[in-house]
């Protein structure tokens, strides 16, 4: 019916539908008992969507609240014997890791297919679980040369966006081959602390990270200034407990988001099958 209404409406930019036009539109209705069954079923799907939406909101709010308490040290974890961990210690980022970048890749090094070459945009997307589009590639030969001569990111290394959108952090979680653009990203490697905890810590202190940027028109993070930033660290054991706890919440949020999107797609497919 909507398609027919649109076709019969007047106007080029804003559609105008008269009562007379509406009165001429044919609407095909199922028998009343079937209408009720359809309405009840769709209402149950809507209820499921609302429940999942509220669950996601609750989990995100809970995570935000508990993170504030953890990093203000209002909440502390206990060691395996039930005792207290030692006090948190402030350390410079440059003391607990090595900050570096990649070897410059030139336009002539790009190929149609090969090893993915990520910029800040792709790292920001990967961090959110989004599969990047329009990826650039370099040849396996160039990649292997750089890997042998300069090294490439390893599992548990971090990449942080340094130009444009500042401070988005991605922890490398697998050994899939890729390379990245120098200048756009800072590579944090040889991390002495728990890598997952440091990833979370840099997110919590993102404003402090951004304040280290230089430039007036286009802000940029630099390795020199980022090395100086001071961050609070508990002992490794407590770092691990914090990271595992927050990661478990993230997994629940991710699962709920997936269920929500699948339910929305299910409803859309049902409507298309019922009314087309």
Region 159-182 average pLDDT? 94
pLDDT tens digits along 116-133? 999 999 999 999 888 998
Among 276, 194, 210, residue whose Cα is nearest residue 1? 276
CATH architecture of 36-87+234-276: Orthogonal Bundle (1.10)
Q: Is the pLDDT of residue 242 over 90?
A: yes
CA distances from 199 to 36, 94, 162, 216 (A): 51, 15, 15, 27
Give pLDDT, residue 6: 62
Residue 250 structure tokens: 């993230």
Per the CB < 8 A criterion, the answer to whether 154 and 172 are in contact is yes
Give pLDDT, residue 7: 61
Cβ burial of 209 (10 Å; 0-12, 13-18, 19+) is: buried
Residue 9 structure tokens: 């409406």
pTM of the model: 0.81
Q: Which residues are CB-contacts of 66 (< 8 A; sequence separation ≥ 6)?
A: 75, 246, 249
Instruction: Please give the span between the terminal C-alpha atoms of the chain, in angstroms, as a whole number.
Output: 10
* pLDDT class of 186 with cuts at 50, 70, 90: very high
* pLDDT class of 13 with cuts at 50, 70, 90: low
Mean pLDDT of the chain: 90
Give pLDDT, residue 95: 97
Tell me how far apart the alpha carbons of residues 212 and 166 are, in angstroms, rounded to a whole number: 10
Give pLDDT, residue 119: 93
Give the containing element (helix H, strand E) for 69: helix 32-71
Q: Where in the chain are the domains?
A: 1-30, 36-87+234-276, 89-232
CATH classification number, 89-232, choose in 3.90.79.10, 3.90.220.20, 3.90.700.10, 3.90.550.10: 3.90.220.20
* pLDDT class of 12 with cuts at 50, 70, 90: low
Give pLDDT, residue 72: 94
* pLDDT class of 35 with cuts at 50, 70, 90: confident
> Does 38 or 195 have the greater pLDDT score?
195
């Amino acid at each position: 019916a909507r398609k027919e209404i649109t076709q019969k409406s007047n106007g080029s930019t804003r559609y105008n539908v008269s009562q007379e036009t509406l009165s001429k539109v044919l609407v095909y209705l199922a028998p009343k008992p079937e209408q009720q069954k359809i309405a009840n079923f769709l209402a149950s799907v809507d209820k499921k969507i609302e429940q999942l939406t509220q669950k996601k909101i609750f989990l995100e709010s809970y995570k935000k609240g508990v993170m504030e308490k953890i990093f203000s040290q209002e909440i502390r974890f206990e060691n395996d014997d039930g005792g207290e961990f030692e006090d948190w210690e402030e350390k410079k980022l440059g003391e607990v890791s090595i900050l570096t970048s990649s070897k410059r890749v030139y336009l002539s090094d790009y190929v149609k297919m090969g090893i993915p070459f990520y910029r800040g945009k792709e790292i920001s997307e990967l961090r959110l679980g989004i599969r990047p589009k329009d990826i650039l590639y370099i040849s396996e030969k160039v990649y292997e040369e750089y890997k042998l001569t300069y090294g490439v990111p390893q599992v548990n290394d971090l990449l942080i966006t340094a130009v444009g959108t500042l401070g988005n952090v991605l922890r490398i979680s697998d050994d899939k081959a890729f390379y990245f653009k120098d200048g756009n990203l800072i590579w944090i490697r040889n991390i002495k602390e728990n890598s997952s905890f440091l990833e979370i810590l840099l997110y919590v202190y993102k404003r402090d990270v951004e304040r280290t940027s230089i430039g007036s028109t286009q802000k940029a993070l630099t390795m020199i200034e980022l090395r100086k930033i001071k961050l609070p660290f508990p002992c490794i054991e407590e770092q691990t407990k914090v990271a595992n706890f927050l990661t478990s919440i993230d997994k629940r949020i991710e699962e709920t988001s997936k269920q929500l999107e699948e339910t929305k797609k299910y409803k859309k497919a049902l409507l298309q099958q019922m009314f087309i």
